[in-house]
Structure 1
Amino acid sequence: MSGALTFRFTTQAQLDIRRITRELSNLQRQVASGDAAHDLLGFGGGASRLLNAQSLKANADSRTSVIQQLQARFGVQGAALGQVSDSAQMLAQSIREAIASNDGRGIATELELSFNSIVSALNETWNGQPLFAGERQGAGPIKINTLDELTAAAGPDDIFDEATRHQVLDLGVGEPIVLSAKASEISQGLLETLSDLKQLLDGAGGTIGQPISAAHNAALQNFADRLDDEATKFTNEEGRAGQLQKRFATERVRLQERSNLLLKEIGDQADADVAEVSVKLSSLLVQYEAAAKTFSELSKLSLLDYL
């Protein structure tokens, strides 16, 4: 009987050692990796909640990344719109100075400089995509390069190369946002003004001389006023871009806070409790030593010990 009992106790000790060894290995893995379970199966019924939280966090992080990139875009976009507005205002100022000095010989040069600056700004790109060509990729929306081409254009199709649809962004809230107006929507009036001024100069032999005639004086004053009005349109559009930038900045903060909350929830479910694991390790080590000692002592027993 005592031999059978010894065998049974020895077997139980072996089983205890194996069980404790597995548990020790699992706890050591938790300490090393920081994860409460090796895979999703280890989380049991909490696996679906964990997957859902991870998915929501990935979505929030992705949207945050897009918005962070857009901050740079709106910086470039605002600068381009400001450049157009400044160019129109500077040309208007040059015309008024010419009127005041009764000398229009420098207007043609100022017109050329303003035209080049305006076209360059409207053809500005961000990450290789034109800012004001709608959703189209590739070259900028203004396809003319000179004032002569502008005056020779029969209509908008000879000037603009744009997509039908605007470039929009959907942050996942069901409200797509137009990132910018197309060039034709904001610059057609300005380019018409430049074209009319160019035709006035061409009709005067390429330049308005000194002194300025009464008819030219009135026409130039009208052009200066028109240029100011067109510049205001771009100033307003620049303000709209700034409002969008502020809106996206607020949304980025909200998404970051959401991501942080989800990260905490994921951690609460998936991360190992180091303090709890340490206590369990200490307890199991004591059990392991006791089981190992019992197994060692039982393994030494034989009939000679009872003789």
Structure 2
Amino acid sequence: MKVTPTFLIATHARSDLARLTNDLYGLQRQTASGFLADDLKGYGDNGGRIISARGVLAQTEARKAAGERLQVRLDTQDLALSKAAAAAAQLKQDVTLALSQTDGRFLADQLQTAFGQVVDALNQSEDGQALFAGERATATAVRVTSLDDLAGAFTDEQVFNESTRNATVDLGTGVSFTVADKASAISRDMFDAMRDLYAEMQAGAFGTPLTASQELALRNAVGALDAAHGSIVEAQGRNGDVNNRLGREIERLSSQGILVEKHMSDVADADLAEVAMKLSASQTQYQAIAKVFSDIRELTLLNFLK
């Protein structure tokens, strides 16, 4: 019978112990970190896939963050447009009340209030950016600051301070879309109605009872204010459409990010259940070989002579 020399058995045992020690270290590291390797080199050919996935994920997260910031702006725009629409509706109601009571003595104050509310709404900004001045982001959208200013301003250039083009944004898809209408498109009808009403007041104070010409002027004002209110509400609807579109894009980017993260996880993450099984098996094997190695080292000639 062929007998394997003791020193060869010891050599093999020592080699197996070294290999198992390295395996155990790797498995324990995977258990602690949750990753298959410490760096990209450890992933071999999959390293390139991980780098590519990280790039896609970073781009996706950046676009999502930009979309969420834009949603804040759109929400602010909605509040501003609501304020302007409410001012138009209230002034129309005030004029209607004056007609029904044939008493216009309170209209001057109500007109002044409506003017201030509309100007404030359209001059709103978000994070230092004017909302309704188009691409002229650092300017207030409305030039006129008083009804007297408005009385002498008849063109868009005189009333508004805005760029030629609407403000647009591209979230990285290569397609730009309008973020907000310009103040002129939103409120031109409103400023025209307020200018005409102010001109009637300047021609003769509204008192009680109203004159026939004043009643006619107020009836015309009701129609003009109704149209002005409609223009503002339509702008608010467009703002809502953009916000909804943006919400869908953010949801899509969130789903894309989850898929990319899953892809990275499939490539880079350790299967902890599998690692635990391998760790247990390696520890058992290590203990068995270590015992054999220990027994061999204790062998002496005396063991064979007994």
In the alignment, the residues of structure 1 paired with residue 296 and residue 260 of structure 2 have an alpha-carbon distance, to the nearest angstrom, of: 53
TM (norm. structure 2) is 0.88
Displacement of 1:18: 2.1
1:119 alignment partner AA: V
Question: Residue 179 of structure 1: SS of its match in structure 2?
Answer: strand
**In structure 2, what is the equivalent of residue 266 of structure 1?**
264
In the alignment, the residues of structure 2 paired with residue 97 and residue 219 of structure 1 have an alpha-carbon distance, to the nearest angstrom, of: 14
In the alignment, the residues of structure 1 paired with residue 152 and residue 301 of structure 2 have an alpha-carbon distance, to the nearest angstrom, of: 118
**In structure 2, what is the equivalent of residue 159 of structure 1?**
159
Question: Residue 178 of structure 1: SS of its match in structure 2?
Answer: strand
Q: Alpha-carbon deviations, 1:43-90, whole Å to 9, x = none?
A: 212222223233323333333333333333322212211221221122
1:203 and 2:203 matched: yes
Q: Which runs of 5+ in 2 are unaligned?
A: none
In the alignment, the residues of structure 2 paired with residue 289 and residue 136 of structure 1 have an alpha-carbon distance, to the nearest angstrom, of: 75
Going from structure 1 to structure 2, the CA distance change for 1:99 and 1:271 (only over 3 Å counts) comes to same
1:138 and 2:138 matched: yes
**In structure 2, what is the equivalent of residue 57 of structure 1?**
57
Displacement of 1:289: 1.7
In the alignment, the residues of structure 1 paired with residue 165 and residue 50 of structure 2 have an alpha-carbon distance, to the nearest angstrom, of: 40
2:193 alignment partner AA: T
Query: Which of the residues 282, 285, 300 maps onto 1:284?
Result: 282
**In structure 2, what is the equivalent of residue 41 of structure 1?**
41
1:103 alignment partner AA: D
Q: How does 1:103-122 map to 2 (within 5 A)?
A: 103-122=103-122
Q: Alpha-carbon deviations, 1:152-186, whole Å to 9, x = none?
A: 33643343222444322223333211111111222
How many aligned positions are there?
302
In the alignment, the residues of structure 1 paired with residue 239 and residue 199 of structure 2 have an alpha-carbon distance, to the nearest angstrom, of: 33
In the alignment, the residues of structure 2 paired with residue 245 and residue 156 of structure 1 have an alpha-carbon distance, to the nearest angstrom, of: 27
In the alignment, the residues of structure 2 paired with residue 151 and residue 159 of structure 1 have an alpha-carbon distance, to the nearest angstrom, of: 10
Question: Residue 103 of structure 2: SS of its match in structure 1?
Answer: coil
In the alignment, the residues of structure 2 paired with residue 8 and residue 137 of structure 1 have an alpha-carbon distance, to the nearest angstrom, of: 82
Query: Which of the residues 236, 240, 254 maps onto 1:242?
Result: 240
Q: Which moved more, 1:231-240 or 1:255-264?
A: 255-264
Q: How does 1:175-186 map to 2 (within 5 A)?
A: 175-186=175-186
Question: Residue 36 of structure 1: SS of its match in structure 2?
Answer: coil
1:278 alignment partner AA: A
Question: Residue 209 of structure 1: SS of its match in structure 2?
Answer: coil
Question: Residue 144 of structure 1: SS of its match in structure 2?
Answer: coil
**In structure 1, what is the equivalent of residue 211 of structure 2?**
213
TM (norm. structure 1) is 0.88
Displacement of 1:218: 1.4
Displacement of 1:260: 2.1
1:191 and 2:184 matched: no
Q: Identity of paired residues, percent?
A: 37
1:252 alignment partner AA: I
